[in-house]
């Protein structure tokens, strides 16, 4: 199925949906506060399980029991739960992660606060407000008597650490969807129509140890080889192309008077296109030791595929922009360097709309916050997009 054109939204009264949501402002804030007050750090399976239990109970209360539920149990990470809700029209998959970067105990020193239009606290922007908005968008459509399409809500607990467990379950849950909505936070109010691919690699160097003073020529310095590799890697950065290669960790050797026998460099790579990804692959494959007695190997891989702005993604943006226009809002779009689970859906060739979540700022920072007015507005915009697939 192709993405509905913006003209379809003439049949959807987005301002009426917005008025309903504005009347529920206090309930929306209360839902966000209750959710944010449950700590869900990516590295704490126990707290993640408690947070997920809260979410499922809340979702059942707000949306009713799902027509189908699939639970993928993890061990070291948060579980994945997929919930289906019946509707009419073309099915949509909604992605939302419930884990955050904030460690257990963060709330003790930094509690959730509501001050006028602003809600602050760990995880509110990235991305707990987004899920709250998605749920209230569905409630508003139902209350307005507007049909919504079949919805598949995917809750994941390891996005902030690269989705090592959830990726195959996300990809399976997206299969057959007409489009995918990602309720990650906006970027300065803009939805995200392109995201960089992310590669995480390690360069391992094996050298030959020797006494640095008595017999230096007998050694082959792994640190020297690593330093040469770092220069090659950093030279592969091309800001005009949108490519960054950063050696963020470099370690090696044992003592100053020993020619280093081993070294390791840890690398973060960001690319904006498949062509750039292939270029970096060639750079990594071409790393060689200068000294024939040493050896260089590379491990790791591409954690997130590139999300390029395809025509289908452009059509999703046009639909969202038309929905926002009914509210008198000119919805911007942007490309960002960070990745999300939306990258996986885009790599499957699906129409994706990312950054449909909160308006605010401070992701991964102590000033993380969201705008309540923004939550109401973006929930209405999301409702319009959902309804278009049921028309």
Reported confidence tier of residue 2, pLDDT bands at 50, 70, 90 = confident
Q: What is the pLDDT of residues 299-312, one digit of tens each?
A: 999 999 999 999 99
Mean pLDDT across the stretch 27-31? Answer: 98
Flag whether pLDDT at 325 surpasses 80: yes
DSSP state, 41? B
**Average per-residue pLDDT in the chain?**
97
Count how many residues are written for the chain: 391
Per-residue pLDDT at 367: 96
Q: Identify the burial level of 355 via C-beta atoms within 10 angstroms of its C-beta, where 0-12 means exposed, 13-18 middle and 19 or more buried.
A: buried
Per-residue pLDDT at 1: 61
In this prediction, what percent of the chain has a pLDDT beyond 90? Answer: 99
Domains, the chain, in order of start with CATH, read 6-195+307-388 (3.40.630.10), 197-304 (3.30.70.360)
Q: Whole-angstrom Cα distance, residue 42 to residue 203?
A: 26
Q: Whole-angstrom Cα distance, residue 369 to residue 380?
A: 20
Neighbouring C-beta atoms of residue 245, cutoff 10 Å: 22
Reported confidence tier of residue 178, pLDDT bands at 50, 70, 90 = very high
Per-residue pLDDT at 268: 97
Residue corresponding to tokens 């360097």: 337
Reported confidence tier of residue 18, pLDDT bands at 50, 70, 90 = very high
Q: What is the pLDDT of residues 217-233, one digit of tens each?
A: 999 999 999 999 999 99
Q: Is the separation of the CB atoms in 126 and 184 below 8 Å? A: yes
Q: Which two tokens stand for residue 391?
A: 């028309």
Q: What is the pLDDT of residues 114-170, one digit of tens each?
A: 999 999 999 999 999 999 999 999 999 999 999 999 999 999 999 999 999 999 999
Reported confidence tier of residue 347, pLDDT bands at 50, 70, 90 = very high
Per-residue pLDDT at 391: 85
Q: Is the separation of the CB atoms in 40 and 78 below 8 Å? A: yes
Q: What is the pLDDT of residues 233-264, one digit of tens each?
A: 999 999 999 999 999 999 999 999 999 999 99
Flag whether pLDDT at 204 surpasses 80: yes
Flag whether pLDDT at 92 surpasses 90: yes
């Amino acid at each position: 199925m192709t993405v509905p054109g913006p003209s379809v939204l003439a049949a959807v009264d987005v301002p009426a949906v917005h008025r309903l949501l504005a009347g529920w402002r206090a309930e929306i804030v209360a839902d966000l506060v209750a959710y944010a007050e449950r700590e869900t750090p990516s590295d704490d399976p126990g707290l993640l399980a408690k947070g997920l239990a809260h979410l499922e109970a809340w979702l059942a209360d707000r949306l009713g029991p799902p027509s189908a539920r699939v639970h993928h149990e993890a061990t070291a990470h948060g579980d994945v739960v997929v919930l289906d809700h019946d509707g009419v029209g073309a099915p949509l998959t909604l992605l939302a992660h419930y884990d955050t970067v904030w460690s257990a105990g963060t709330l003790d020193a930094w509690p959730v606060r509501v001050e006028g239009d602003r809600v602050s606290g760990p995880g509110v922007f990235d991305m707990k407000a987004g899920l709250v908005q998605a749920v209230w968008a569905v409630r508003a459509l139902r209350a307005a008597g507007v049909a919504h399409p079949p919805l598949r809500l995917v809750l994941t607990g390891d996005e902030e650490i690269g989705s090592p467990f959830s990726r195959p379950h996300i990809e399976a849950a997206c299969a057959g969807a007409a489009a995918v909505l990602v309720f990650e936070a906006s970027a300065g109010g803009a939805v995200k129509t392109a995201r960089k691919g992310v590669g995480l690699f390690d360069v391992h160097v094996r050298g030959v140890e020797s006494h640095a003073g008595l017999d230096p020529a007998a050694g082959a310095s792994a640190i020297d080889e690593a330093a040469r590799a770092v220069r090659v890697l950093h030279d592969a950065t091309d800001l005009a192309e949108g490519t960054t290669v950063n050696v963020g960790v470099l370690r090696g050797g044992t003592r100053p008077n020993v020619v280093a026998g081993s070294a390791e460099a840890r690398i973060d790579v960001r690319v904006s296109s498949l062509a750039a990804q292939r270029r970096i692959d060639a750079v990594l494959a071409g790393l060689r030791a200068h000294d024939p007695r040493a050896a260089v190997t590379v491990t790791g891989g591409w954690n997130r595929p590139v999300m390029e702005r395809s025509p289908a993604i452009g059509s999703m943006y046009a639909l969202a922009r038309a929905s926002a226009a009914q509210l008198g809002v000119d919805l911007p779009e942007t490309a960002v360097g960070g990745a999300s689970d939306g990258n996986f859906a885009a790599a499957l060739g699906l129409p994706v709309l990312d950054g449909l979540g909160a308006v605010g700022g401070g992701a991964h920072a102590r000033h993380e916050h969201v705008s309540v007015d923004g939550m109401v507005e973006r929930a209405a915009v999301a409702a319009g997009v959902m309804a278009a697939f049921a028309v």
